[in-house]
């Protein structure tokens, strides 16, 4: 039955009454949101059930995407969109005098991720459902997501992200599908039924409760599942043993220690810090996830030795790589398979994505800690390692090679190596990144297992990042080339034919202006700062990290400012620079950089002598919902990482899809973006891959040389510590030290000149409106290849071996 506006209105009124005993006229926005949310979930539930039934009945191969992070953002808007009822709903609410956009703003972001990696997982879920791949997410239901950022006095202050405080309308708690996860204890070997068995005793049992969220495909009846696990004590609230002995406090302590496993997301995306709670989190969701997959598989009455024909499991970075050992445990200890059979199934089942070459992010666990927390898993890792080392030795007869490639060495367990040995596929996330993995970081493994390595360039869902976030641009595209691009984003290329068409260009211009005016109002309301919608909106939003070089951006702005001060008639298009970035709470230099941006912003925004030609806005609390607001109004996208350091980037693709011109180093997926759009339609600057590698190898970079030979650099660096920024001279002394005394690890000063030229080039290009719009249209037209629908199609064909299936509705 097709939903009508009248039906929706009736349903809404009834739901509001059932939930809150209220009429529409006296209900709050919060209740309206919660009502609409539960209604939308109900509209999806039949499709959800149907999808599950048909997957089971047809024995289709299922994919499980294991990830510590899912940076989902809000779901109301994207669920309405994917169900195809946005307009209907907007009109129905309008009849009640309710603005749907305002209701959407009530929803808290599901911020269960740090940045790119977690957002990729969310885009992949959307694409799997939308192109009809039977694929599900598996992760942790953190009580607190990534911290909320406030800027106070220019400094970042972190506030706990209590995203569940109003409940969560999208999830379903499934207590009947709980699993038990065991930590600590002792393992002994016993001989039973003619075979060696492993007995695990004195362990701590933790209950894993799944919460399922529907993942709704775009107008296709498919609803997949995101299953997130929450930790509870087995005996419900208390350790009854302690409780009955009168040790009340101890019982409560135990409850809190168990619950802490799923309490909070680790807020650092670039450093593996070896904390035991993190290892607990990893094993917790991986074990629960695998147990539930096996339980479901066995219900289908298929034999366990064909598991890999029906199940593919993807490991998103090394965080879930302990799954390799856990699946071995389940197959060998619980399902009684031989080691060799189990290992064949395990490697056929798993595929691993590497997300970074930065050494500090490579996870390793001290043997002692690992062994104590996971005694049986440790034995299995040892056995996998022992057999693997024999193979390396057979091939190379070289103890050094064995040492270099061993999973366990120098007192540590190397999780990336476990993932590679235990998977049939290892992929990097952009061409350049995969090349570097093969030739450098993982060269030993590439030589040993060349057939495992492949590239899958990241992507973004064009539904959230264009259709939903930029409705005006989407409508124009549909008016111009029809709506086929929505199902097939590669069709966006059809607007290329209009790139020189003056009337089309003009419409593109008007839409960008309209988005920019909306955002100027947002800035005025939230920051009390007036910005000029006719200025160039120049945007760098992403995590704050030295390698992403927000410092280079701010130095570029300072240089422009000093030029304006010495020549107030300098002929430039006014620019508004936007930053948005969270720093990991323990990342000192990143936090100082935030303070520097805010300090420079205060100085420049309040200097009337430059006639408002530059403004700087630091956007608080960069998140998915903020990204959806700022990206559609960007003219310029800053993708300026030190070449070789950004594995792919996905922010870069979102901006391209919304018509921004990218200022970029040839790093990560910027390389492919440049190839797709053509080098005339992107502004490339800076060191090339080989320059960086040579300088790092030969240690021939001396930042002081750039300081001494370029007066602009000297002026900027000196001003950091001489009080001219109107803060104490000590405020940025450590940034100064990092760049000069400590030799500027990410080559900010070396790329400075080239960057200034790139920014000047942008100014020149923007002055020629026709040319600029032609470039902008080319970017939109060529962005379709970066839809995650394409990425997922490749994962599905080349890694998972899964088919698309069409879900039929029965009545």
- 260 alpha carbon, distance to own chain's centre: 23
Residue 784 is a binding residue for ligand PLP (CB under 6 A): no
CB distance 88 to 3 below 8 Å: yes
* Identity of the residue, 113 or 320, whose beta carbon is nearer to ligand PLP in the bound complex: 113
The piece of 111-119, 198-206, 344-352, 516-524 that touches ligand PLP (CB under 6 A) is 111-119
CB atoms near residue 247 (< 10 Å): 14
Residue 320 is a binding residue for ligand PLP (CB under 6 A): no
Torsion sign, CA atoms 376, 381, 387, 389: negative
Residue 135 is a binding residue for ligand PLP (CB under 6 A): no
Taking CB under 6 A as the criterion, which residues in 539-568 touch ligand PLP? 542-543
CB distance 28 to 100 below 8 Å: no
* Identity of the residue, 121 or 377, whose beta carbon is nearer to ligand PLP in the bound complex: 121
CB distance 174 to 207 below 8 Å: no
- 767 alpha carbon, distance to own chain's centre: 35
CB distance 802 to 312 below 8 Å: yes
* Identity of the residue, 16 or 656, whose beta carbon is nearer to ligand PLP in the bound complex: 656
The piece of 31-39, 114-122, 499-507, 570-578 that touches ligand PLP (CB under 6 A) is 114-122
The piece of 25-33, 115-123, 221-229, 289-297 that touches ligand PLP (CB under 6 A) is 115-123
Place of tokens 């506030």: 159
- Minimum Å gap between C-beta 661 and ligand PLP is 16
The DSSP annotation for 677-746 comes to H-GGGSEE-S--HHHHHHHHHHT---HHHHHHH-HHHHHHHHHHSSSTTSS-TTTTHHHHHHHTTT--TT
Number of residues that bind ligand PLP (CB under 6 A): 13
Q: What character string, x for contact with ligand PLP (CB under 6 A) and - otherwise, covers 463-492? A: ------------------------------
Q: What character string, x for contact with ligand PLP (CB under 6 A) and - otherwise, covers 632-661? A: -----------------xxx--x-------
* Identity of the residue, 427 or 802, whose beta carbon is nearer to ligand PLP in the bound complex: 427
* Identity of the residue, 108 or 221, whose beta carbon is nearer to ligand PLP in the bound complex: 108
- Minimum Å gap between C-beta 500 and ligand PLP is 30
Taking CB under 6 A as the criterion, which residues in 519-538 touch ligand PLP? none
Residue 115 is a binding residue for ligand PLP (CB under 6 A): yes
CA distance 461 to 483: 16
In terms of Cβ atoms closer than 10 Å to its own Cβ (0-12, 13-18, 19+), residue 69 is buried
Taking CB under 6 A as the criterion, which residues in 11-40 touch ligand PLP? none
The piece of 175-183, 217-225, 622-630, 695-703 that touches ligand PLP (CB under 6 A) is 622-630
The piece of 160-168, 482-490, 619-627, 723-731 that touches ligand PLP (CB under 6 A) is 619-627
- 708 alpha carbon, distance to own chain's centre: 40
CA distance 496 to 310: 42
The conformation of residue 264, written as its DSSP 8-state character, comes to B
* Identity of the residue, 627 or 684, whose beta carbon is nearer to ligand PLP in the bound complex: 627
* Identity of the residue, 414 or 654, whose beta carbon is nearer to ligand PLP in the bound complex: 654
* Cβ burial 511-532 (10 Å sphere, 16+ → b, else e): bbeebbeebbeebeeebeeebe
In terms of Cβ atoms closer than 10 Å to its own Cβ (0-12, 13-18, 19+), residue 792 is buried
CB distance 352 to 428 below 8 Å: no
Catalytic residue annotation: 355, 542-543, 548, 650, 654
* Identity of the residue, 537 or 561, whose beta carbon is nearer to ligand PLP in the bound complex: 537
Residue 627 is a binding residue for ligand PLP (CB under 6 A): yes
CA distance 684 to 680: 9
Taking CB under 6 A as the criterion, which residues in 369-398 touch ligand PLP? none
Q: What is the 3-state secondary structure (H, E, C) of 541-605?
A: ECCCCHHHCHHHHHHHHHHHHHHHHHCCCCCCCCEEEEEECCCCCCCHHHHHHHHHHHHHHHHHH
- Minimum Å gap between C-beta 123 and ligand PLP is 8
- Minimum Å gap between C-beta 590 and ligand PLP is 13
Phi/psi at 274 (5° precision)? 65, 25
- Minimum Å gap between C-beta 623 and ligand PLP is 5
* Identity of the residue, 481 or 627, whose beta carbon is nearer to ligand PLP in the bound complex: 627
Does residue 206 sit in helix, strand or coil? strand
Q: Which residue is nearest to ligand PLP (CB)?
A: 651
Residue 116 is a binding residue for ligand PLP (CB under 6 A): yes
- Minimum Å gap between C-beta 627 and ligand PLP is 4
Q: Which of 131, 265, 624, 683 binds ligand PLP (CB under 6 A)?
A: 624
- Minimum Å gap between C-beta 624 and ligand PLP is 5
Start-to-end CA span in the chain (Å): 9
- Minimum Å gap between C-beta 626 and ligand PLP is 7
Nearest of 325, 452, 447 to residue 384 by alpha carbon = 325
- Minimum Å gap between C-beta 485 and ligand PLP is 21
- Minimum Å gap between C-beta 36 and ligand PLP is 24
CA distance 204 to 573: 64
Residue 623 is a binding residue for ligand PLP (CB under 6 A): yes
- Minimum Å gap between C-beta 324 and ligand PLP is 28
- Minimum Å gap between C-beta 144 and ligand PLP is 17
Does residue 350 sit in helix, strand or coil? strand
Residue 136 is a binding residue for ligand PLP (CB under 6 A): no
CA distance 743 to 722: 20
User: Who contacts 647 (Cβ-Cβ below 8 Å, separation ≥6)?
Assistant: 354, 355, 356, 357, 428, 429, 430, 433, 668
Phi/psi at 102 (5° precision)? -70, -35
* Identity of the residue, 308 or 317, whose beta carbon is nearer to ligand PLP in the bound complex: 317
The piece of 187-195, 616-624, 743-751, 783-791 that touches ligand PLP (CB under 6 A) is 616-624
The conformation of residue 328, written as its DSSP 8-state character, comes to H
Place of tokens 């929450």: 230
| Tokens (6 digits) for 750 | 């070396």
* Identity of the residue, 36 or 581, whose beta carbon is nearer to ligand PLP in the bound complex: 581
Q: Which of 47, 119, 414, 782 binds ligand PLP (CB under 6 A)?
A: 119
* Identity of the residue, 433 or 542, whose beta carbon is nearer to ligand PLP in the bound complex: 542
* Identity of the residue, 326 or 667, whose beta carbon is nearer to ligand PLP in the bound complex: 667
| Tokens (6 digits) for 383 | 């056995």
Place of tokens 């959407």: 104
CB distance 187 to 53 below 8 Å: no
- Minimum Å gap between C-beta 199 and ligand PLP is 46
Q: Which residues bind ligand PLP (CB under 6 A)?
A: 115-116, 119, 542-543, 622-624, 627, 649-651, 654
């Amino acid at each position: 039955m097709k939903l009508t506006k009248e039906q929706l209105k009736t349903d809404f009124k009834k739901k509001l009454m059932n939930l809150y005993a209220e009429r529409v006229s006296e209900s709050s926005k919060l209740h309206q949101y919660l009502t609409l949310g539960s209604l939308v979930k109900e509209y999806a539930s039949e499709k959800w059930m149907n999808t599950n039934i048909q997957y089971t009945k047809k024995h289709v191969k299922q994919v499980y995407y294991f990830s510590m992070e899912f940076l989902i953002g809000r779901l109301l808007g994207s669920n309405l969109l994917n169900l195809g009822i946005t307009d209907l709903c907007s009109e129905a609410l309008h009849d009640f005098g309710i603005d749907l956009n305002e209701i959407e703003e009530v929803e808290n972001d599901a911020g269960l991720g740090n940045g790119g990696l977690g957002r990729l997982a969310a885009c992949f879920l959307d694409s799997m459902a939308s192109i009809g791949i039977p694929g599900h997410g598996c992760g942790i239901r953190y009580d607190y997501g990534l911290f909320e950022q406030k800027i106070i006095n220019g400094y970042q202050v972190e506030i706990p992200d209590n995203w569940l405080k109003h409940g969560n309308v999208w999830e379903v708690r499934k207590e009947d599908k709980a699993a038990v996860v065991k930590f600590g204890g002792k393992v002994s070997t016993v001989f039973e039924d003619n075979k060696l068995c492993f007995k695990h005793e004195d362990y701590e049992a933790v209950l894993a409760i799944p919460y399922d969220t529907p993942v709704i495909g775009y107008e296709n009846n498919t609803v997949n599942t995101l299953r997130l696990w929450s930790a509870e004590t087995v005996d419900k609230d208390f350790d009854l043993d302690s409780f009955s002995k009168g040790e009340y406090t101890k019982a409560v302590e135990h409850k809190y220690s168990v619950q802490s496993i799923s309490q909070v997301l680790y807020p650092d995306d670039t450093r593996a810090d070896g904390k035991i709670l993190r290892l607990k989190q990893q094993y917790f969701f991986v074990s629960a996830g695998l147990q539930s997959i096996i339980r479901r598989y066995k219900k289908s009455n298929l034999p366990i030795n064909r598991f890999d024909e029906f199940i593919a499991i993807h490991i998103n970075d090394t965080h879930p790589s302990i799954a390799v050992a856990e699946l071995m445990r389940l197959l060998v200890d619980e399902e009684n398979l031989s080691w060799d059979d189990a290992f064949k199934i395990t490697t056929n089942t798993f595929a691993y994505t590497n997300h970074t070459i930065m050494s500090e992010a490579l996870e390793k666990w001290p043997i002692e800690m690992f062994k104590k927390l996971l005694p049986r898993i440790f034995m299995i890792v040892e056995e996998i390692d022992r057999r693997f080392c024999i193979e390396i030795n057979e091939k190379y007869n070289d103890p050094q090679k064995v040492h270099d490639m061993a999973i366990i060495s120098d007192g540590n367990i190397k999780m990336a190596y476990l993932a590679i040995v235990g998977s049939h596929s290892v992929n990097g996330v952009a061409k350049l990144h995969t090349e570097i993995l093969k030739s450098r970081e993982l060269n030993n493994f590439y030589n040993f297992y060349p057939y495992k390595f492949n590239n899958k360039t990241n992507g973004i869902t064009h539904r959230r990042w264009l259709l939903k976030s930029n409705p005006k641009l989407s409508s124009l595209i549909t008016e111009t080339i029809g709506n086929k691009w929505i199902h097939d984003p590669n069709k966006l290329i059809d607007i290329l034919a209009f790139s020189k068409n003056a009337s089309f260009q003009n419409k593109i211009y008007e839409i960008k202006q309209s988005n920019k005016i909306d955002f100027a109002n947002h800035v005025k309301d939230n920051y009390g700062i007036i910005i000029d919608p006719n200025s160039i909106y120049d945007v760098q939003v992403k995590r704050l990290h030295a390698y992403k070089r927000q410092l280079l951006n701010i130095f570029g702005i300072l240089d422009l400012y000093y030029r304006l001060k010495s020549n107030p008639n300098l002929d430039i298009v006014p620019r508004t620079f936007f930053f948005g970035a969270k720093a990991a709470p323990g990342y000192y230099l990143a936090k100082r950089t935030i303070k520097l941006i805010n300090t420079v912003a205060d100085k420049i925004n309040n200097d009337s002598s430059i006639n408002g030609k530059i403004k700087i806005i630091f956007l608080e609390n960069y998140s998915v919902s903020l990204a959806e607001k700022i990206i559609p109004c960007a003219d310029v996208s800053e993708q300026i990482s030190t070449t070789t350091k950004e594995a792919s980037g996905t922010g870069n693709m979102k901006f391209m899809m919304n018509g921004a011109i990218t200022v970029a180093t040839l790093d990560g997926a910027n390389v492919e973006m440049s190839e797709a759009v053509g080098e005339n339609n992107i502004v490339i600057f800076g060191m090339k891959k080989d320059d960086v590698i040579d300088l790092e190898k030969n240690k021939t970079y001396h930042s002081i040389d750039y300081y001494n030979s370029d007066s602009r650099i000297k002026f900027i660096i000196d001003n950091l510590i001489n009080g001219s920024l109107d803060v104490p001279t000590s405020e940025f002394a450590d940034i100064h030290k990092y760049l000069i005394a400590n030799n500027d690890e990410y080559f900010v000063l070396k790329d400075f000149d080239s960057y200034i030229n790139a920014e000047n080039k942008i100014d020149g290009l923007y002055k020629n409106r026709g040319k600029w719009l032609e470039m902008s249209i080319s970017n939109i037209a060529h962005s379709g290849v970066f839809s995650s629908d394409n990425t997922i199609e490749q994962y599905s064909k080349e890694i998972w071996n899964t088919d698309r299936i069409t879900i039929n509705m029965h009545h």
